[in-house]
């Protein structure tokens, strides 16, 4: 390496030479710092060192040698610390894996009871090919490593030559790979890339629409003023409103939901609350009955309703409640799930939009989450749902007057429900079903982005996984059932195209399909068939841009952009499985598991409700005034009961075999990518494989000691 007169050499202009000449030898992949003594150095290397430099050379040499030694020691210390932290992390991960395996509970054990009517062959066939890919990838990795270390770098022109021994077999594999496997894999890669670009363009257009809405400050406006007269509190727009709270074994959250609904600021005579309890636990039924009785004694118009025949899950529960004779006296129905707590002014901010707008069938409010900062899982869910409400729902509501009903925190015109056929139990997404049928009948929807309703997010991966399975299998069931009705409907061609291609195919089918196929199957297989190429912009740049767009509605979550990208690809396994189950009507498509709630927000919400501003109490004769002192609140200092102890014993973390299998496949592909020196592919596969490993061991979300 040629010497230079800069940091390590002498200075120009006659400055004396200071320090020891050092040559940095860059040898790929190692590098070393060699110290050269002045006696052995080339004279040209010491240009600029004067006659007096000899006296300074000795002292300067010792000083620079010490500096280099300290720098190297510091770097060695940092490297050792990094290795120690990695080692401790690996040990902790291994210990967690050992505990999970020793516990002996897997996701297959969890789904055995819920899918009792499903054939074991059908349940295992779907991911059988992934296991085959894993075995094949391990064999290919072994072959590629042997070829790499033995120097079997066969050129394309030499593949036709007869080679004996193991090299002949390897040459045959290369010819087979290039002639048959690579074209097929490249075709699948190109097809998925096209779908990926179409879906990315759709998301970009939605984000631009949201930007335009915020720039122009567009939001649904009231057709006529509905504010009450200051002198006559009974004046104003106060139609008859029915409030429904469907619940099933919601022991943790029933108090806060009933308290919040009974605290709605609406004339008491024009408001009726239905508590639709589908609980099969007698203790839970008794507790909810007592809670309803307390609010009845307090003056609230609230009814408890329990079905004898619990068919149709939530849709059957709502359908049964709408069949009551007194429902005909009400014009609107507001629906809140058991963990939702609307603000007292919820009805005053949502119901007036119906006035003088006979085409309006639904007003949907957005959700806010009281436990969004509880753990990493809730933070990632918050990113997803903020984008869903801020971008998807708002853009569709403003430009199309249509979006999927979220099943709660919404107000329906009862006439729109009846005109659309009412609640049906044919799918697990009864909310989307009624929204699509109402849209086909010409009803319009409003989304109120500035009206929020608090709820809580699933804090365990098991609960979130089951929720996502239901949310992604139901739309495919609905698509099969609604497609003929969409084609035969009288709505415009543009609205039909939007429903079929954008609402269902692109966002409900293509999105989970390409996410799973492209990043979990095709990408690792291209490492073993390098003739099929996946560009860097598909692996890194476009996904990073899409993740950045997704995180814009929740800017405080920006530090979690990389975990969000990895976790979304990890969840594509569950979403793809659910999509296939719903599309082909497999047994798990009809599985309904109530999302577990922690009730973490109940204490804070009840305290907030207890402090009622004086202006909210000025019309006590017309509003429902709660007595929150009578709300049963469990004393944290009270000793745990036997039932609590049994419940705690039942809680445990699981291991998820599908995610673990994919983690091994991705990590094996990452090791193979080192041989081809594909940097971006290696890092993506490595981190994605680690993400699958963490999720497979249930190390994300709530942890049970």
Catalytic residue positions, numbered: 278, 431
CA distance 214 to 212: 5
Tokens of 189: 């890669």
CA angle 98, 100, 103 (to 5 degrees): 105
Cα–Cα distance for residue pair 163/169, rounded to 1 Å: 8
174 SS3 class: helix
Dig out the tokens for 200 from the structure.
């990315």
Of 400, 382, 386, the C-alpha closest to 446 is 400
Q: What is residue 415's three-state secondary structure?
A: helix
DSSP string, 238-290: ---EEEEEEESS-TTTHHHHHHHHHT--SBGGGEEEEEEE----HHHHHHHHH
Total Cβ atoms within 10 A of residue 96: 17
| Contact assessment for residue 695 and residue 520, using Cβ atoms and an 8 Å cutoff | no
Helix (H) or strand (E) holding 473: helix 461-488
> At CA 174, angle to CA 169 and CA 175, rounded to 5?
95
- Angle ∠(680,685,691) on CA atoms, nearest 5: 130
d(CA 701, CA 375): 6
The pairs formed by 437-440 with CB atoms below 8 angstroms and a separation of 24 or more are: 437/482, 437/485, 438/361, 438/362, 439/402, 439/491, 439/495, 439/499, 440/485, 440/486, 440/489, 440/491
Grouping H, G, I as helix, E, B as strand and the rest as coil, residue 557 is helix
Q: How many CA atoms lie within 13 A of 531 on its CB side?
A: 15
């Amino acid at each position: 390496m040629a010497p230079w007169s800069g940091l390590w050499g002498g200075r120009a202009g006659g400055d004396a030479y200071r320090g020891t000449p050092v040559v940095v030898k860059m040898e790929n992949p190692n590098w070393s710092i060699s110290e050269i003594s002045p006696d052995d150095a080339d004279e040209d290397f010491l240009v600029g060192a004067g006659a007096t430099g000899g006296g300074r050379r000795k002292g300067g040499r010792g000083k620079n040698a010490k500096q280099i030694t300290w720098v190297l020691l510091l770097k060695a210390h940092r490297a050792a610390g990094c290795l120690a932290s990695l080692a401790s992390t690996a040990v902790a991960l291994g210990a967690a894996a050992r505990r999970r395996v020793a516990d002996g509970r897997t996701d297959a054990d969890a789904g055995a009871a819920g899918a009792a009517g499903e054939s074991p062959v059908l349940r295992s066939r779907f991911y059988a090919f992934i296991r085959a890919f894993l075995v094949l990838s391990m064999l290919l990795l072994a072959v590629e490593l042997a070829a790499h270390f033995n120097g079997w770098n066969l050129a394309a022109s030499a593949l036709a030559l007869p080679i004996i021994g193991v090299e002949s077999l390897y040459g045959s594999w290369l010819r087979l790979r290039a002639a048959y496997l690579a074209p097929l894999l490249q075709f699948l890669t190109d097809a998925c890339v096209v779908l990926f670009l179409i879906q990315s363009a759709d998301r970009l257009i939605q984000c631009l629409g949201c930007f335009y809405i915020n720039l122009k400050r567009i939001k649904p406006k009231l057709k006529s003023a509905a504010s009450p007269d200051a002198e006559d509190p009974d004046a104003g727009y106060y139609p008859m409103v029915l409030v429904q709270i469907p619940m099933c074994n919601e022991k943790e959250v029933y108090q806060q939901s009933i308290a919040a609904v009974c605290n709605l600021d609406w004339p008491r005579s024009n408001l009726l609350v239905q508590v639709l309890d589908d609980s099969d636990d007698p203790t839970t039924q008794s507790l909810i009955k007592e809670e309803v009785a307390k609010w009845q004694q307090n003056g609230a118009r609230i009814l408890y309703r329990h079905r004898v025949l619990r068919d149709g899950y939530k849709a059957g529960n709502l359908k049964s409640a709408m069949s009551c004779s007194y429902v005909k006296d009400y014009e609107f129905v507001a629906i809140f799930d058991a963990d939702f707590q609307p603000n007292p002014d919820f009805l005053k901010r949502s119901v007036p939009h119906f006035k003088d707008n006979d085409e309006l069938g639904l007003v949907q409010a957005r959700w806010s989450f009281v436990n969004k900062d509880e753990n990493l899982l809730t933070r990632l869910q918050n990113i997803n749902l903020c984008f869903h409400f801020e971008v998807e729902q708002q853009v569709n509501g403003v430009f199309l007057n249509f979006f999927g009903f979220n099943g709660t925190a919404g107000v329906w015109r009862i006439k729109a429900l009846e005109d659309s056929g009412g609640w049906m139990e044919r799918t697990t997404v009864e909310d989307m079903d009624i929204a699509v049928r109402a849209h086909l009948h010409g009803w319009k929807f409003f989304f109120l982005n500035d009206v929020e309703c608090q709820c809580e997010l699933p804090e365990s991966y098991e609960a979130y996984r089951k929720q996502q399975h239901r949310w992604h299998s139901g739309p495919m069931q609905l698509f099969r059932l609604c497609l003929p009705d969409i084609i035969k409907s009288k709505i415009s061609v543009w609205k039909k195209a939007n429903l079929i291609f954008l609402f269902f195919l692109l966002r409900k089918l293509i999105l989970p399909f390409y996410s799973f196929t492209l990043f979990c199957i095709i990408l690792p297989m291209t490492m073993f068939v390098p003739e099929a190429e996946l560009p860097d912009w598909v692996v890194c740049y476009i996904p990073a841009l899409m993740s950045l767009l997704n995180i814009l509605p929740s800017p405080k979550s920006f530090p979690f952009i990389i975990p969000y990208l990895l976790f979304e690809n990890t969840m594509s396994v569950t979403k793809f499985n659910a999509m296939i189950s719903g599309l082909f009507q497999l047994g798990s498509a009809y599985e309904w598991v109530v999302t577990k709630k922690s009730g973490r927000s109940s204490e804070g919400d009840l305290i907030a409700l207890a402090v009622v501003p004086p202006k909210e109490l000025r019309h006590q004769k017309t509003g429902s005034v709660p007595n929150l002192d009578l709300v049963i609140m469990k004393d944290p200092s009270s000793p745990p009961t036997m039932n609590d102890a049994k419940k705690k014993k039942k809680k445990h973390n699981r291991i998820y075999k599908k995610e673990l299998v994919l983690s091994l496949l991705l990590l094996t592909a990452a090791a193979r990518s080192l041989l081809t020196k594909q940097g971006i592919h290696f890092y993506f596969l490595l981190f994605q494989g680690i993400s699958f490993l963490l999720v497979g061991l249930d190390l994300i979300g709530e942890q049970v000691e």
